[in-house]
Amino acid sequence: MNKATLKAVLRKNKWFAGLPAPLADSILRLGRVRKVDNSLIYSATDGPDGLVALISGQMRLTSFSLSGNPSFLLITSPGSWIGVTSALDGRAFGYDAFAVGKTVLFHLSQERFEALIGESNEYYSAFVRQVCDHLRVSIQNLIILRNRRPLHRLAQELWRLADRHGRQTRKGVVIDLRLSQEDLAVMIGVGRQTINRLLKSLEQDGIATAKYTSVTIHNLEAIERLSLSEGVDG
């Protein structure tokens, strides 16, 4: 993969796109492309290993409760970065990162990351801003999870997945990410029975259809309206 193509994918991320040119060029020069296929990138208990960006394919971030059940699931999109918090504070990642299918990653090793941020306070601050960006998104998602109705949370997640991973077909936008109903339930913080009821409701209204490990959105405008709804749990 040439540098121009790599840079174009990474610039899909607002944080990377806003970096000073010398820092962005240094990251591209110091990082390495890795190709993986259905393999663990790192586990929750692993120590810092620098930063990883998704170039193509699918990367799942998962954490588990003490009982062993998944309590968090996020599907990343190309250009997304993970690992910055661990790289900065030296602690374990806190979640598993798994590459699903043939996946291309861009890896900036811990040693090279530390050398880079040691060059100037400006460079160090740039990565701190990335942590701040992640924190803001996490807080926003937590507010949504606690306050909005499950149907609206599901619609918002389907809208996000359709925008980043959807494939246009005659029947609608297909989200083919090997997502089971259990996965969707974890992503929006509800139980299996609830997600089953919500998906049936969307199907009855002709908005979306769930089949095996894919979801087809027939009415994207309806999904968008639901995702933007201000309805909250009473």
Phi, psi for residue 19 in degrees, rounded to 5: -70, 150
Q: What is the pLDDT of residue 31?
A: 96
Q: What is the pLDDT of residue 231?
A: 55
pLDDT, tens digit, 9 for 90 and up, residues 9-37: 999 999 999 999 999 999 999 999 999 99
Q: Please identify which residue in the block is written with the tokens 């692993």.
A: 46
The pTM assigned to this predicted structure is 0.80
Phi, psi for residue 12 in degrees, rounded to 5: -65, -25
Where is pLDDT greater, at 133 or 229?
Answer: 133
Rounded to the nearest 10°, the torsion over CA 217, 219, 220, 226 is -100
- Residue 73 bridge partners (DSSP): 62
For the cut 50, the answer to whether the pLDDT of residue 234 exceeds it is no
pLDDT, tens digit, 9 for 90 and up, residues 94-105: 999 999 999 999
Q: Which amino acid is at 67?
A: S
pLDDT, tens digit, 9 for 90 and up, residues 36-53: 999 999 999 999 999 999
Structural domains of the chain ordered from first start = 3-145 (2.60.120.10), 149-228 (1.10.10.10)
| Ramachandran assignment for 187, one of left (phi > 0), alpha (psi -120 to 50 degrees), beta (any other) | alpha
